Amino acid sequence: MSRLQSVNFFLTDTEACSYLPKEKASFLVVDPTEKISASEFSQLSQSGFRRSGKTIYRPQCKSCDQCIPIRIPAENFIPKRRHRRILRKNSRVSVSKVNPFFSVEHFSLYSKYINNRHHSDDMDPSSIAQYKDFLVEGKQGTSFYEYREDNVLLGVSVTDSLNDGVSAIYNFYEPTLSSRALGIFMILSLIRETSKQKKRFLYIGYWIKECKKMNYKNQFKPLEKLVNRKWIREEG
């Protein structure tokens, strides 16, 4: 019997949904006092759970099931023409893997990104305490990837290592360089990194059909979606 069957979970109170204004959200959360191993965290990820800081959760809403966990089969991914164009635009960007740590440089870019891209939502305003709690302190085989051009920091990816893949926890980047499509470039880089590590999947969170902010996730094909507890592949 898997130890996860004895792990305690709890259901959060209902709150306003961050993505669908007419819906109410609640989450199934792993008891924060539980010690979750790397293998158990991988199993949870395969079942649609995500990590935010030290919290491991999955949407479990009473009247809505639109949050669909998705992952990209790294070895089977074929870049489209627009992806190759984005890679060329960012060909001078270097990517470095580092252990998670707090730096003023990272936080300044994160704050700029949040204030530009998520103004007025529950992530604004950003604070050092919120940033550390969200991205630095909750570790599950966590790595940062720094994206630099001429030593200027353009972006940071926060990832967790899984048995079968890499989980992209969060990307933040220079918001004024919209023509560079840095967010897409960072996902393309993480697909390469996942394949380089000989792991099968890049987990990229949830996809909601009716949420325009998440439309970009549907461009990476093939793509797998967790529907009725089964991963269903969609070809390009």
Q: Domains (ranges, CATH) in the chain?
A: 3-68 (no CATH), 70-103+135-234 (3.40.630.30)
Query: Tell me, what DSSP letter sits at residue 30?
Result: E
CB count within 10 Å of CB 31 equals 11
Task: Compute and round to an integer the Cα radius of gyration of the chain.
Answer: 17
Residue in 124, 186, 114, 197 with CA at minimum distance from that of residue 156: 186
The region, left, alpha or beta by phi > 0 then psi within -120 to 50, assigned to residue 205 is left
- Beta carbons of 74 and 199 less than 8 angstroms apart: yes
Query: Tell me, what DSSP letter sits at residue 178?
Result: G
Tokens 């990307």 correspond to 171
The pTM of the full predicted model, rounded to 2 decimals, is 0.93
- pLDDT tens, N- to C-terminus, the chain (236 residues): 467 888 899 999 999 998 998 999 999 999 999 989 889 999 999 999 999 999 999 999 998 999 999 999 999 999 999 999 999 999 999 999 999 999 999 999 999 999 887 655 555 557 899 999 999 987 778 999 999 999 999 999 999 999 999 999 999 999 999 999 999 999 999 999 999 999 999 999 999 999 998 999 999 999 999 999 999 999 97
CB count within 10 Å of CB 69 equals 22
Q: What are phi and psi of 218, to 5 degrees?
A: -80, -5
Residue 122: the pLDDT is 56
Residues 121, 67: Cα–Cα separation, whole Å: 19
